[in-house]
Amino acid sequence: MGRRGHEHAPFAASGDGCFIVDTEGRRYLDASGGPAVSCLGHSNRTVAAAVAAQLDAIAFPYSGFFTTEAAEELARRLAAAAPGRLDRVYFVSGGSEAVESAIKAARQYFVERGDPRRRHVIARRQSYHGNTLGALAAGGNVARRAPYHPLLVENSHIAPCYEYRHRCEDETSEAYGRRVADELEAEIVRLGRDTVMAFLVEPVVGATLGAVPAVDGYFRRIREICDRHGILLILDEVMCGMGRTGTLFASEHDGIAPDIVCLAKGLGAGYQPLGAMICTDIIHDTILDGSGFFQHGHTYQGHPMAVAAGLAVLDELTRHDLIERAATMGRVLEDHLRERFGDHPNVGDIRGRGMFWGLEFVADRDTKEPFAPEAQVAARLKDVAQANGLLCYPSAGTADGARGDHVIIAPPYIITESEIELACDLLARSLDETLTANPV
């Protein structure tokens, strides 16, 4: 079953750097790496060879019986690079599994510590943490939650840090950040200090808000509040991690270390489905010295071909200085986006970091009034852009869960300046075609 029953998607035939070629020979510039996945582009032979070599050697020694060189080496390298005491790596097959594993690790940690009353996860409105029921319940994406609402365990949601819409006019960025961070403390007190186990948050909000970083100081305040109340800080870097924002871990920019971080997308770069949950040695040792066993698991966790791909991806990122490149070419991308769309009457905000940018569309720049949801600006933009040979990642519900539209531009880190120019040309053309086809 495809993503939409009625859709006739083109058949992808091959990859060529930042382009995907279909079976008719049409070329599409992938300016979003799918959903911010393909950080190395679509034809990296080194990663493909690493996967093939692992398949040649052995496809599936079950992780209940064996580990592999690739899994151990990738875990060592991630732990060495990760901030703070993030030392223990648990490989899974994608972002939702990473988030499920994080929530369960947090819960088991408190149970093993003799603190079983701690059961609440606090997250934020306008967030997304995955589509499995635990991760979906934690997230605050209105549309994705809606049909499953009766199945979702209760979680609480505080405000996102979304300066474009929520900072008051007479408020500094810093004061705004502090005000919204302090909602966490109020929510902890409301729920009962010793019943909360974790705060789960995306350092740069991806699909739901469109590449929205927090204001400076927000995360330092969040870290302080978590520490004060003994709750774990779980960062969901599934979309924004692995160099996407110009540092290997997105939290490096905020100068804080979480207790657990979730990775996926760029970790396997699309060459294999791979996710990871990395926790501190404290959490790991509490479980190990308690029952001795993390009461969780999936058949394919640590799949050798997936971790072989992940190791080769990290090698490629390091060998070709691609994370620095994401930072420097990210500034080039930002310049082009601002030059091209900064004065566009229907682009209300341009925000992001590194190779992760969002453009929020509005019917009126002065009032920030979104387009009517029936105009389906995001959905139509995706189709128009693809017909024009551009792949970008639009979503709706940006402003309040129901109204608003944005597009994410998150290209492979190997993108060149001329490809950035082409992406901006195609996006500008596609946006204008979308808006003139159905002026609202």
Sorted by sequence, the CB contacts under 8 Å of residue 393 that are 6+ apart come out as 32, 34, 35, 36, 207, 382, 407, 408, 409, 410
- Nearest CA to 83 out of 275, 233, 269, 273 is that of 233
- Nearest CA to 293 out of 91, 104, 419 is that of 104
Q: How distant is the alpha carbon of residue 163 from its chain centre?
A: 19
Q: Are 75 and 63 in contact (CB under 8 A)?
A: no
Provide the minimum distance between the beta carbon of 130 and ligand PLP in the complex, in angstroms, as a whole number.
Answer: 4
Q: Which is nearer to ligand PLP, 96 or 346 (CB)?
A: 96
Provide the minimum distance between the beta carbon of 260 and ligand PLP in the complex, in angstroms, as a whole number.
Answer: 13
Provide the minimum distance between the beta carbon of 35 and ligand PLP in the complex, in angstroms, as a whole number.
Answer: 5
Can residue 270 be called a binding residue for ligand PLP (CB under 6 A)? no
Can residue 96 be called a binding residue for ligand PLP (CB under 6 A)? yes
Can residue 160 be called a binding residue for ligand PLP (CB under 6 A)? no
Can residue 239 be called a binding residue for ligand PLP (CB under 6 A)? yes
- Nearest CA to 276 out of 138, 428, 430, 76 is that of 76
Instruction: Give the phi and the psi of residue 89 in degrees, each rounded to 5.
Output: -115, 135
Can residue 137 be called a binding residue for ligand PLP (CB under 6 A)? no
3-class DSSP assignment, residue 83: coil
Can residue 236 be called a binding residue for ligand PLP (CB under 6 A)? yes
For residue 186, give the amino acid letter. A
What the block records as the tokens of 334 is 């930002």
Q: Are 373 and 387 in contact (CB under 8 A)?
A: no
**Which value, to the nearest 10 degrees, does the dihedral of the CA atoms of residues 135, 141, 144, 147 take?**
90
Task: Determine the Cα–Cα distance for residues 19 and 43; give it in Å rounded to an integer.
Answer: 9
DSSP letter, residue 177? H
Q: Are 401 and 143 in contact (CB under 8 A)?
A: yes
Binding piece for ligand PLP, criterion CB under 6 A, among 176-184, 231-239, 335-343, 415-423: 231-239
Binding piece for ligand PLP, criterion CB under 6 A, among 125-133, 190-198, 252-260, 405-413: 125-133
What the block records as the tokens of 21 is 């070629």
Provide the minimum distance between the beta carbon of 131 and ligand PLP in the complex, in angstroms, as a whole number.
Answer: 6
Exactly one of 207, 226, 305, 390 binds ligand PLP (CB under 6 A); which one? 207
Q: Which is nearer to ligand PLP, 35 or 290 (CB)?
A: 35
Binding piece for ligand PLP, criterion CB under 6 A, among 102-110, 175-183, 212-220, 234-242: 234-242
Can residue 35 be called a binding residue for ligand PLP (CB under 6 A)? yes
Can residue 373 be called a binding residue for ligand PLP (CB under 6 A)? no
Can residue 258 be called a binding residue for ligand PLP (CB under 6 A)? no
Q: Are 316 and 44 in contact (CB under 8 A)?
A: yes
Exactly one of 33, 41, 83, 95 binds ligand PLP (CB under 6 A); which one? 95
Helices and strands in the chain: count of H runs, count of E runs: 14, 17
Provide the minimum distance between the beta carbon of 39 and ligand PLP in the complex, in angstroms, as a whole number.
Answer: 14
Q: Are 47 and 423 in contact (CB under 8 A)?
A: no
Binding piece for ligand PLP, criterion CB under 6 A, among 14-22, 41-49, 202-210, 370-378: 202-210
Can residue 202 be called a binding residue for ligand PLP (CB under 6 A)? yes
CB closest to ligand PLP, residue no:
95
Can residue 303 be called a binding residue for ligand PLP (CB under 6 A)? no
Instruction: State the residues that interact with ligand PLP by CB under 6 A.
Output: 35, 94-96, 99, 128-130, 202, 206-207, 236, 238-239, 264
